[in-house]
Structure formats: C-alpha cells, structure tokens
Amino acid sequence: MAELRRLTPDDWADFRDIRLRALADSPDAFGSTLTREESFTEDDWRRRLAGPVYVVDDPTPVSVGGIFDNAGRPHVWGMWTDPAHRGRGHARVILDALIPAGTGAQLDVNVTNGDARLVYERYGFVGTGEVEPLRPGSDMLIERMVLVG
C-alpha cells in the first residue's frame, strides 16, 4: 500500500536514489542533470533535504516532490513519479503535503511536458506565459505556473 513520507537528512540515500532515477527517466523535466547530480556527496544530498521533501513509498520511493521559498512564495520543485506508478494520484498526495490549503504556490514545467502540465492544471495551477530556458544553453523552455491561494 502506498504511504506518504517526509524525508529528513538521514534519508539522503533514498532521496539520491529516486532523484537520480528521475533525472535518468525525464532529463528534460529538470533544471539539473544526471551527470551533475551523480557527483554530489552525501553532504550535498543532506543539504537538499533541509526543506520539505516528500516521497510516496509503494513500498520503496516511487514519487517525489519538494518545496522551497522563492522570494516569499512557495515554489514546488523536483516533482516526478516512476512511470510504472503514474496515474495513481501520487502527485496530488505530494502536492497536498507540500502546499498548505488555501495558500498559493508556483512551479516551472517544460512546455513540451503535456502530461505534467495536465496534472498541475487539474490541481489548480495556471500558466502565466512566462517562459525561460530549462537550463543555461538549453533550447527547451519552461513555463511558470501559479496556484492562487
């Protein structure tokens, strides 16, 4: 049975494993790269868990997402669900845990990732039309989406 779990710095190995799986599976969904994050040390992984990061275990981590403060506005990052576990509501469970009811948030989504965009739109996020490169030197674009609280 699937279970939501908030990660702590002591869960760094689980986070590393699911994050590297995410980057390998969906390299165009993230501002970082597999090559970059494969070189992270244990301390790097522990630091990344300073803010709220949740996983859905089924029975091991199959879905992940985090949130950080972006100039006073919650910003969702790192959302990913293992392809074999998509369509089960895991993203909604994680978003519910990350975003307190009645508050706003923002996130960025690759403009070509229609499946992710649909998940976010169903949750209540709307596109802003603000686009920028996925990462420096990339031809791919991400769009900012917002959830009004």
Please report the DSSP string for 22-33 in residue order.
HHHH-GGG-SS-
pLDDT tens digit sequence for 23-66: 999 999 999 999 999 999 999 999 999 889 999 999 999 999 99
pLDDT tens digit sequence for 78-105: 999 999 999 999 999 999 999 998 899 9
pLDDT score of 136: 92
Q: How far is CA 19 from CA 51, 83, 121, 137, 139, in A?
A: 15, 14, 23, 22, 23
With 0.85 as the threshold, say if the pTM is over it. Answer: yes
Q: In the CATH hierarchy, which fold is given to the domain comprising 3-147? A: Aminopeptidase (3.40.630)
Check whether 119 has a pLDDT greater than 90: yes
